[in-house]
Amino acid sequence: MNEPTAENYEPENSGHSQRVDWTGLVNRIQAGDPEGMEELYRVFSRGVRFYLCRQLGPQELDDKVHDTFVIVVQAIQRGELREAERLMGFVRTVVRRQVAAFIDQAVQARRERQDVESGAHVPDRRENPEQYAIERQRAELMRQALEGISRRDREILTRFYLLEQPQEQICAEMRLSETQFRLLKSRAKARFGQLGKKRLSRSSLMSFFLRTNTVLEH
Amino acid sequence: MLRDCKCSVSEETVERYCLGRLESEELERFEEHLLVCPGCQDRVAASDEYIAAMKLALRDIRARQAKPAGPRWNPLRWTPLLAAGVAAAALAVFVHFRSPAGDPAPHMVSLRAIRGFEDPAAAAPAGALLVLKADLSELPEMPSYRIAIADQGGAILWQASGTPEQGQLTVTLPRKLAPGRYWVRLLGGGNLLREFGLKVE
Ligand SMILES: [Zn+2]
């Protein structure tokens, strides 16, 4: 497979295809050029926001995105990024560290809260009833789609998605070729898609994420 | 509507990413790309939704199938042959779902950090032997981790250490859990790394 790299990346959110000059970008950020920082934000903001939202949920997302960019810019200015071509990997490392730190903080905070409240109920993290309702509605559609397929096909999907068995194991045990396995999965997806097209709206997570894709403010 | 994604990442790669099955190098490459490709961000969001719906629906179907069916016919009308057939089928189901040692087949519980600190839907049947599989992605690599089960009030009920394999830690609980809410804590190097909710019903 021809995997994407820094060299063949063309940002789609720029409105037109253009290659990013990573070295020039890093040089401008190091020099404190505001246009360099704007470009960094334009290239990465949607992706950083998406990654953080997917891992941590939408709470205080703007602050988290902002903090991440501050860390990236400061690290670049301190000269911690030695190869400009590695900028994407560098941003990824910072974002992953941010996710780990936020999780750690939240777990510690919850533990302290539990200690103080001596066994009080910890609220469910399913904070958004609208989101939950959409997920249940989608699952109900899926259930209808799955009940229309054979028991054997359902077992294969159960093994793959629910029991998380590797594809190789499923194919061996269910006597399936790789192509049959892929076809079964894509048929299930198409079936769900047809039902869903008629009845579902976009997820609130995605629309939230798109709505709040704002520009960096200093 | 998904935006037109012109990049070369396959659907299979996107799905494997969403299922947490990309290996380190491939994961690194894809996540770097994901940071700058809105098309793939849309595809991952759609795939996350699809997988979440699939899991919930499959779980529902399994739960419905596990419930004993109510009497829909008059037992007096059963012929002895039919009764013998039903008994044989029941025995087959019994054999299928029980291990040679006589315990029920273990139930796999996936504990994944996704769109939040833990998957709120992690649920398991009461009375089953549970195999807990914790997702270690985003966590510092360690030679071993510790898993602890706490009750709703935070009291530790059981704990054990395990060695990670392919970014996951799998442990089998030696005892069954009564219905209720629990916390599954993942510890490493003496620190609490992650906490997942678990509902046993
Ligand atoms: Zn892409």
Q: Could you say which of A82, A113, A144 is where a domain stops?
A: A113
Q: Could you say which of A45, A79, A113 is where a domain stops?
A: A113
Q: Check whether residue A96 and residue A62 sit in a common domain.
A: yes
Domains, chain B, ranges and CATH?
Answer: 23-98 (no CATH), 107-200 (2.60.40.1930)
Q: Check whether residue A76 and residue A148 sit in a common domain.
A: no
Residue B28 confidence class, pLDDT cut points 50, 70, 90: very high
Those residues whose C-beta lies under 8 Å from the C-beta of residue A63, and which sit 6 or more positions away, are none
Q: What is the pLDDT of residue B144?
A: 66
Indicate yes or no: CB of A141 within 8 angstroms of CB of B53. yes
Tokens of A71: 């860390």
Q: Check whether residue A141 and residue A107 sit in a common domain.
A: no
- A 10 A CB-CB count for A144 gives 13
User: Strand pairing partners for B98?
Assistant: B104
Q: What is the pLDDT of residue B195?
A: 74
pLDDT tens readout for residues A61-75: 999 999 999 999 999
More confident residue, B136 or A98: A98
Q: Check whether residue A107 and residue A29 sit in a common domain.
A: yes
Q: What is the pLDDT of residue A110?
A: 76
Q: Select from B13, B17, B32, B181 the residue whose CB has the most chain A CBs within 10 Å, as the one to mutate to test that interface.
A: B32
Question: What is the helix (H) or strand (E) element at residue B183, kind and residue range?
Answer: strand B180-188
Rg (CA), chain A: 22
Report which DSSP code applies to A201: P
The answer, for A55 touching chain B at a CB cutoff of 8 Å, is yes
Question: What is the helix (H) or strand (E) element at residue B85, kind and residue range?
Answer: helix B80-97
Those residues whose C-beta lies under 8 Å from the C-beta of residue A61, and which sit 6 or more positions away, are A49, A52, A53, A212
| Domain count for chain A | 2
pLDDT tens readout for residues B38-64: 999 999 999 999 999 999 999 999 888
| B55 min Cα distance to partner chain A (Å) | 6
Segment A26-35 shows an average pLDDT of: 94
Indicate yes or no: CB of A95 within 8 angstroms of CB of B116. no
Those residues whose C-beta lies under 8 Å from the C-beta of residue B112, and which sit 6 or more positions away, are B20, B118, B119, B135
**Residue A8 domain flag:** no
Q: Check whether residue A100 and residue A152 sit in a common domain.
A: no
Which residue range is the domain that position A72 belongs to?
Answer: 22-113
More confident residue, A14 or A72: A72
Instruction: Please give the model's pTM, rounded to 2 decimal places.
Output: 0.61
Residue A127 pLDDT exceeds 60: no
Indicate yes or no: CB of A12 within 8 angstroms of CB of B48. no
